[in-house]
Structure formats: structure tokens, C-alpha cells
Amino acid sequence: MSKETVSLDQLFKDLDENINNGQYKKAIRVCNKILGINNKDVEAFQCKVIACMQLGNYQEALDCFKTNPTQIESMRFEYAYCLYSIKKYQEALKEIEKSSKENRILELEAQIYYKLENPQKTLSIYESLLGKPGYADSVEFITNLCATYIEANEIQKCQEFLTKNKQFLAKAYELAFNAACLSIIKQDYKTAETQLKLAKKVCSDSLKRDGYTEEEIKKEMTAIDVQLAYCQQITNNLESALEIYQNIVDYKIEDDSASLVALNNIASLRDAEKDSATILESIKNLLSEPQERLLNGRQKKTIGFNLAILLVNLRKVGQFEELVKSLKSKNAADQISTPEQINHFTQELDIISASLMIKEKKWKDAEQLLKSSKTLKSKLLLAQLYLLDGNHIEKTISVLENLESQYKSKPGVIATLVALYEKSGDLDKSIQYLDQMIGSLESKSKKSEQEQESYLNLLRISGNFKMNHQKHKEAAETYEKILQVNPNDLIALPSYIVATSHYDPTLAQKYESKLPNIKFESKVDVDLIEKYGLAYDKKESESNTTLITDKKPSTTTTAAVGEKKPKKKLPKNYKPGDPIDPDRWLPKWQRSSNKNKGKGKKSTIGKGPQGVTSAAQLESLFVKESSEPKVSNTVTVKADKPRNIHKKKTLGLLCINIITLNTLIVHGKSQSDIEVVSLFLKEKCNTVSLGLLKEQDFVEIFCDFIDHIISHDIDSVIYFYKQSTDLVPLGMAVEDAIRQKYYNKEERPHQLVDTFLKNLEINTQSYLLSKRRQKDEL
């Protein structure tokens, strides 16, 4: 035996030992030594290729085939797998076509079609393998088939397949994750969360048993966490979703598509107005070259759409146009998507472009672009465009009438068309269209539950529409069709009776007996109602001209009476019949009878710096310009010293009175109520007390008064006026507020009042809002 033979035997022994021990780098070095002795050694070549593949060095394995292309035929599967691993899918498919259809070749072919986003071909291959021995019980195969069902949108088949193999959910976290994805598609988010939590537990336990580190386990669970955060986001738990997304991003896992999805979802949760620059930058980074290769075609298109919508909202027209051109060019060069998918994506981009044109009111350009598209979205947007641009009802009706029959029967389309027919004045066309839709469903011998529900809803809509337009006989016929399906329909039955009563009372009486009797749960205690009702009875108000009454309190009471109020203290030297001085509680220097008595008060007119207006000049603005003397009905008050009774006007209270009456009229109060309040307010204008009050205090009191007006309670309005005029001089408060706010403005009194009331309305609204918030908190 030669030395060369001895050395080859030893090298093969070393190679076998290294492969068994998983030391593939050493195995490659041994293979190189063997091939250095004999470069045509098939076993050494195959061992080197497999070792490179085990180390993930697929390009190095392909380089081996380049040096020895004759070995490709014997290792066709390995060569195709290396091409698949470096994402050369089309070349891998060509190699597979040359090989025999073994099971492992079929599995690889299915995986390639899955990566090419062709789930239909993937599904056909997997279903052919399902009947072969060993596949029905393979957890890995079941997981892949479940994922393919979801991608192919075969929801029912996937559900049946999972139900059949539910015993594997607790064994493979990938299968539990796929089951959660199916629940998300079915919008069953609670079940999805439960399955995702199960997937996390199974993943953590199984990977720990296999010796994975915590970092590796976190990386493996990233996709599960992203789906869990998505469920939180959809169910409106935004803070929890944002926290999970942020934790995933903070992991800084390289070459992970799930992290990129988390970044996109974070951008969608942020406020586009406040963080527009940050969101724009983060989404643009997702479409950069190193990140883009980690995303599949559908994810790239979704992120591209998000960026386009963001640019439209930010009105960045130039960037938007560049992005649309780039997306369309990439879409046209797409070799993975089908022609239908490519066309659909282009039309979706056109819809976004049209929405930007509509925002900029480029109606003609938007119309031309939308007419070129034939999708449902583009047609509905075109109909909306016609309504926005000059309210073209006829054009809108034409667009909706030309929709496919499957869309014309949708409730939203039916309601819109009926409303448009009605607005255009063609009631017969509205009724005809409703009857046509009802007839199309009525002609079906067997209806599904959804169709039956739609049929009954259309009948109700049609019947109500006919009743509203006084077509009672036609409405009765429509309601009768509902009663034929459900004789106990408590909406259709009374509606039918009302409709027939307009043209055939005997028929209405016939069906009246079918109405259910009203049964009270308990007997009504009339005495108890009367007892509590008396507490709200109106009390006859005494005359406002007298302050002392001779009436004695009744010895019998019909309602609960509170504590007795103490009698009002009358001023000293009071003479019955004389009006009380309203300034009696003020110091003498603050009383109106003592004003302008100080030193130099009368000589202030025309003095001071240029532009300054004296108080007397300002007061003169509030006196009506009229030479004719007015007869005042106000009751004068005797004072120790002479007073100028014409100096102060109840302008503010008059304004409040006008607001009160207008409010009551607007809210539909009866004429008698309005007359009672108007007489009372007129009297209050004549007897109102004058004094000083801060504007802020007045606003609060006035807002309480507005509360009573809003509640439409006449008694409360009157009661409030009684209280407020005794405690607070409302008229003077308005005057003082006007004088303080518009001291140097040369405007007529009515202009000042209008301006003041506009500002007062804003203050009133903010005050009422704060009061309601306080009530809500309590």
C-alpha cells in the first residue's frame, strides 16, 4: 500500500470525525486536502458543499460548483437550494425544472413560490404532498400549509385544518402564531391574543431547552410581539401597543423584518401634525436600500402607501409626485406580482393622486384621472367629486347607476341613490329603484341569512320612505310583505295600521287587535304622584309694589315645608308705601345721589392730555340722540340730596331682556309664556337697582341665568330675575362692563352693545363648559 493511499484513508477518517462532531470548518479544510490530492473525488466535493451549507456560506458552496460544474447534475437539489438561499428564485426554479420531482424537490419548489408571493401554486404543491406518508403528522409541514392557506385567503379551509390538528398548537409556537394570524383576519382579537401568549410561552420553553440565549429568544419572539401589539392597537389600547412596539425597536435586532413593521406602526400611531418631521423621516428610512430587502412586496407597497398619504396630508406636492413616479416604475418592473396585482397597485396610487388634486380643487384633472380607472374606489371618489364640484347631482347619479350589480345592492349605495333621486325631485324614481332592489332579492327562492336581513331592511326603508311622502297605500303593501315573513314584527305592524287608516279604516281596525297589550310592571300610586307633584306647583306671586303683606300663613299645608325664613329687616324711619332707597347699604360717598360732588368734578370736561375722554362724555354716548323728552315709568327714590335720575340707563338689562325673549321665541315657547316673561322683564327694567359690580362676577351670574334659559324653564327664569334684581344690579353691571371695555372707542351705543354681547357669548360658552366638566367630575 502506497503512502498516498494511507494518507487518503486517514484524511477520510478525520473528515468523518469532524462531520460527526459538527466541526464543519475543520471538515472543509480536510476536504481541500483530499481534493488537492484528487480533484475529481466526488465524496470529498459533496462533503465540502454540505459543510458550507451547514455554515450558511451558500455563495461559497456555489463557487465550488463553478470550479466543478460536472457535479451539478448529481447535486441538483443542493445547487437549487443554494440559489434559493441567496434569493435567486427564478434561477432556482429553472434548476428544479431539470430535476426529478422528488418530495424534497417539491418542498423546495413550494417554498420558492411562497417567497415569490404566489400562494396558489404553493398550496397546490402542499396539497399534493399531504396525501403522501409522513406529511400528515409532520408539525413543520402542518405549520407551512397553515401559513399558505392564510396567504391564499382560504380562511374556511385553514380553520378546518387547524381544528383537525389542534393537538399540535401547544407543541409548535410557529403553528400557534399562524392560528393567531387566522383569528386576526377573522377579527377575533381576544382569541388572537390568547393564541399569541401561548405561542410566546411555547417559544420560550422550547428554545430554552435547546440552549438558546435570552437575546436569541427575544429575537425569535419579535414577530409574536409585533402581532400582539397590533391586537392592542386595533382594540384601542394604544399606550400598551406603543410600549410593545418601542421595546421591539429598542432591541435593535439587525436584519429583522418584524422590527421594521414595528417602526411603521409606531409612525401610524403618532400625531401627524405634531411629529410630522419625525414620522416622515422614519418611514423614508424603511424604504432605503438596506431595509427594503428585508420586506416582502406587500409590506413595501403598504409602507409606500403610508408615505404617500403622509405627503398628501402635509401638502408636500413635489415629494409626493416623485414618490408616485418611483413606486409606479418599481411596480412596472415587478417580476413577482401578477399583472392584476400590478394594475391594482397603480390604480390605488391614482386614487391618492386624485385626492390631492381634490384638496387643491383641481377638479378637471382629478375627474380625468378617476375616469381612467375602473375600480370601485375610483368610481365612488368620482361620485363624491361631482357633489363637491358644484353639486352635480345628475352626474353623481349616473356614476352610481353604472356600478356593478353586486355593489348597487349595497345599503350605502341604495341609501345614497334614493337621497339623490329625492333631492333632484324625482320621487317616482326613488320608489322605483327601491322596489327594483326589493324585487331582485324577492325573486330568489333560497336566501341566505344576510340576504334575508337585507330584504327586510329594504322593505322597512321603502315603507318609511313612502309614508313620509304620503303614499299610504304603497307603504301598506310594503309593510304587509314584512308581516308575511314575520307576523309579530312590532315595527311593521303599527306602521301598517297607520298606513291603512288613511284609506281603509276597517282594515286598520282588523289588525289593531293584533297589537300587544301594554302591561305595567306595577300599579301606579296616584296619591304618591300628587304628593310629590305638589312640591312643584306654581305659587301665586304677590304684588311687586308692596314689600309688607298682611297675609297670614295657612294653618294647613299640602306639601313638605322647609325652615321658615327670617323676616327682612326694614331700614330705620321706614314709611309704608315709600320705595326703599337701593343705595342704603353703601357708604354715602359711593351712593349715586352723592356722585359728582367732589372738588372740580364739574370742570373736568375738555381738560387733560389730548385724546383722553372724561367719564361724563362717555356717559353721554349712552343717551339716545333725541330732542323729544321721554316719559319714564320708573319709580323714583327719595333721597336726602338731589339726584340726576337720567344719568344711568338700564341699557344692560334691556339687552339681557332682548336675549331672553329671543331665546324663548327660538326654542318654540308658547305666546302666552313669552307675554308673561316680557311683561315681567319690562317691569324689572323699570325697577332695577343701580350699583357697581365687576365684569367677571356679572359674567358668572349671567351664565347661571343662561342655564335657566337653556332648560326652557319659565318659572326658573322669573325666579332668577327676582333673586338677581334684589341682590345684583344686572343693568349697571352690563353698563360698567361696556364702559370698561370700550372706554376710548368712538362708537354708538348699539354698536358697543353688539360688540360686548359677542365677547360675552364667548365667555358664557367657556363658563358653561367648565361648569359641565365640574358636574361630570362629581
C-alpha cell recorded at residue 666: 327660538
Spatial distance between the Cα atoms of 370 and 347, rounded to a whole number of angstroms: 9
Q: Domain 3-99 adopts which CATH fold?
A: 1.25.40
- pLDDT on residue 48: 93
pLDDT surpasses 90 at 426: no
pLDDT digits (tens, 9 = 90+) for 74-130: 899 999 999 999 989 999 999 998 888 889 999 999 999 998 888 899 999 999 998
Q: Find the mean pLDDT for residues 534-561.
A: 44
pLDDT surpasses 80 at 387: yes
| Domain residue extents for the chain | 3-99, 651-777
- pLDDT on residue 343: 82
Cα–Cα distances in angstroms (integers) from residue 550 to residues 261, 547, 557, 574, 721, in the given order? 86, 10, 19, 17, 24
pLDDT digits (tens, 9 = 90+) for 689-731: 333 334 444 445 555 555 544 444 445 544 444 444 433 344 4
- pLDDT on residue 775: 55
* Total length of the chain: 778
Continuous segment of H or E residues that includes residue 26: helix 24-37
Residue 367: other Cβ atoms inside 10 A: 18
Cβ neighbours of residue 513 under 8 Å, at least 6 residues apart? none
| Alpha helices per DSSP H over 444-525 | 449-468, 472-485, 492-501, 505-512
Spatial distance between the Cα atoms of 537 and 561, rounded to a whole number of angstroms: 13
pLDDT surpasses 60 at 678: no
pLDDT surpasses 60 at 604: no
Asked if 654 and 731 touch (Cβ cutoff 8 Å), the reply is yes
Spatial distance between the Cα atoms of 239 and 181, rounded to a whole number of angstroms: 22
Spatial distance between the Cα atoms of 140 and 175, rounded to a whole number of angstroms: 8
pLDDT surpasses 60 at 748: no
- pLDDT on residue 240: 92
pLDDT band at 8 (very low <50, low <70, confident <90, very high): confident
State the DSSP string of 581-609. Answer: PTTTTS-GGGSGGGTT-STTSTT-TT-SS
When the pLDDT of each residue in the chain is averaged and rounded to a whole number, the result is 75
C-alpha cell recorded at residue 768: 358653561
pLDDT band at 496 (very low <50, low <70, confident <90, very high): confident
406 vs 715, which has greater pLDDT? 406
* Residue 379, amino acid: K
158 vs 606, which has greater pLDDT? 158
- pLDDT on residue 599: 53
The C-alpha angle with vertex 604 and arms to 601 and 610, in degrees rounded to 5, equals: 155
- pLDDT on residue 619: 43
pLDDT surpasses 90 at 333: no
Residue 645: other Cβ atoms inside 10 A: 13
Spatial distance between the Cα atoms of 601 and 593, rounded to a whole number of angstroms: 14
pLDDT surpasses 60 at 648: no
Segment among 32-46, 289-303, 369-383 with least mean pLDDT: 289-303
- Is pTM beyond 0.75? Reply is no
- pLDDT on residue 600: 52
pLDDT band at 559 (very low <50, low <70, confident <90, very high): very low
pLDDT digits (tens, 9 = 90+) for 139-151: 999 999 999 999 9
Spatial distance between the Cα atoms of 99 and 450, rounded to a whole number of angstroms: 51
3-class SS letters over 134-182: CCCCCHHHHHHHHHHHHHCCCHHHHHHHHHHCHHHCCCCHHHHHHHHHH
552 vs 312, which has greater pLDDT? 312
- pLDDT on residue 201: 93
Spatial distance between the Cα atoms of 664 and 649, rounded to a whole number of angstroms: 25
Asked if 711 and 624 touch (Cβ cutoff 8 Å), the reply is no
Cβ neighbours of residue 730 under 8 Å, at least 6 residues apart? 652, 653, 656, 688, 698, 701, 702, 724
Cα–Cα distances in angstroms (integers) from residue 759 to residues 28, 657, 704, 762, in the given order? 88, 18, 17, 5
Spatial distance between the Cα atoms of 383 and 392, rounded to a whole number of angstroms: 9
Q: Find the mean pLDDT for residues 473-481.
A: 89
Asked if 198 and 176 touch (Cβ cutoff 8 Å), the reply is yes
Spatial distance between the Cα atoms of 544 and 686, rounded to a whole number of angstroms: 12
Asked if 269 and 242 touch (Cβ cutoff 8 Å), the reply is yes
The C-alpha angle with vertex 450 and arms to 445 and 455, in degrees rounded to 5, equals: 60
